Structure 1
Amino acid sequence: MQGLAADYAASLPAQDMGSMILGLEGILPQVPQVTAVPLGDRDGAYDPEHHLILIDSAASPQRQRFTLAHEISHALLLNDDDLLSDVHDLFEGDRLEQAIETLCNVGAAAMLMPPALVRELLGRFGPTGRALSELARRADVSASAALYTLAAETDAAVLYAVCGAGRGAGEALQVRVSAASPAFPYSLSPGTAIPAGHPVQEAKASGLPVEAPSYLPFRSGRRMPAYVTAYPAGGLVTVAFALGQAQLERLGTLPSQASADS
């Protein structure tokens, strides 16, 4: 699925929504019409019989763009007999539907955030909150969408998070979504509060990037030593928590051995 989507993206003259859909010329008998309508709790839908893609009109432009890439991935999957046959051989029932949706999310990410772009940003900024913010900006997707792609492509032990004000909690910052690289052994629950004085709070208050040895704040109250890079943009703070000696050395600091052992 990644290969299909990446090849499709490479064939497009541009990455705007019009060019994305016109890329289906020559792949499908008829290019689907894209229509924005209220869809309630659904982001979009693809109707191959009537050559129609529906996009939720109430979604943000970034979400609409990701949804279009997701629905185009449905079209690419349905047009690839070998891949579709493999998926049907491996899954059935609800698991089949879940697998197809997962594959189409993978396709959308590969279409909008090609590996070359991710590698470029990781090479320039390292596994940091700045890299996450730049990926979302360059790919014109939400930080939440960029989060998973960046985490999957990060070799270091890093957890990325998008933090914002909690609903009904005034200016209190909370984790909205997070994703860990394959080498990172822990997760961070949505709704986890960011304590006062934490570098993420400092970045939000100052509007400036903050990098500092600090900690990963778990919902239970436990604090794990980590090197934090926090980058404020658009009312949110994109964050990277790095663990391990090699990763901390790369980012320019090391915890004490006692802290690391704890």
Structure 2
Amino acid sequence: MLRAKVRELARDYRKANAPLTPERLAKGIGASFEIAPIPTDGMFDFDRGRILIAEGQSLKRQRFTLAHEVMHYLIRHDENLLSDMHEEYAGDEFEETLEALCNLGAAEMLLPSENVKATLAKKGLRAKLIPDLAETHQVSEEVAAIALTDQAAHVLAVIAGGRPLKVLFSSRSEFFPARPAKNAEVPKDHALALTLATGLPFQGEAPLPKHQRPFLLDAYAKGGRVYGIYRTKPN
């Protein structure tokens, strides 16, 4: 229910402020934005009505961060939605849920779910769709991963890259006991690492990085990164 409300909130904002250039993203809530040397990806200075975006991010990532901060504002000012969240969550769990919902809303703003559904209907859910959707719709790969996994139950996405190979992003899913932490190193003998090393797609069973329990994994490598879609095993 919360996720549906957040999607609707983001969808309405996108329609009211299209085309969603960075300037229009911020202006729609009466805010400005600037690139600044801050320690986090982004932050909202509510007192000054100003969104700060960290230096060093790609333009696509900056746009996602900006949309994420706009979602913080929209959720904060939706009394019914905020009340529903407080009824279900508290403390750290509330904060984690808020961050996940802001990510979901940002993805809906930048990559409409109807576009994702149309792609999935044609091609099915595969790891290759993460970079493909990001390139086609000019959004960050994080946005593509969030949008894809939001359309299917029992799935989790992982993006890894760098040397040594580390987790750059992982989506959240209530159907997995844990999620790989950002910057967690991927072992050299892990299916994700082997997919990147060989360039060959992988379909089979593998654990999440730094975990032991195996799940079904579809992995694909491109441009020095490897993308994984994990599924829970059918009962």
Q: TM-score range by the shorter chain?
A: 0.7 to 0.9
Shift of 1:236: 0.8
TM-score by length of 2: 0.74
Contact kept? 1:164, 1:176, Cα under 8 Å = yes
Structure 2 residue aligned with 1:230: 220
Structure 1 residue aligned with 2:66: 68
Structure 1 residue aligned with 2:161: 164
Shift of 1:113: 2.6
Shift of 1:106: 2.7
Contact kept? 1:230, 1:239, Cα under 8 Å = yes
* Structure 2 counterpart SS, 1:8: helix
Structure 1 residue aligned with 2:55: 57
Structure 1 residue aligned with 2:148: 150
Contact kept? 1:200, 1:239, Cα under 8 Å = no
* CA 159–194 in structure 1, closer or farther in 2 if over 3 Å, else same: farther
Structure 2 residue aligned with 1:47: 45
Q: CA RMSD in A?
A: 3.6
Shift of 1:132: 1.5
| Larger deviation, residues 91-100 vs 41-50 | 91-100
Structure 2 residue aligned with 1:103: 101
For residues 188 and 45 of structure 1, what CA distance do their matches in structure 2 show? 24
Aligned length: 228
Per-residue CA distance 1:66-98 (angstroms, 9 max, x = gap): 111112112222332332344455556665555
* CA 175–56 in structure 1, closer or farther in 2 if over 3 Å, else same: closer
2:11 paired with 1:6: yes
* Structure 2 counterpart SS, 1:11: helix
| Larger deviation, residues 224-233 vs 105-114 | 224-233
Q: Which runs of 5+ in 2 are unaligned?
A: 1-5
2:130 paired with 1:132: yes
Pair member with larger Rg: 1
TM-score by length of 1: 0.67
* CA 213–59 in structure 1, closer or farther in 2 if over 3 Å, else same: closer
* Structure 1 counterpart SS, 2:189: coil
% identical equivalent positions: 28
Shift of 1:50: 2.3
Contact kept? 2:100, 2:172, Cα under 8 Å = no
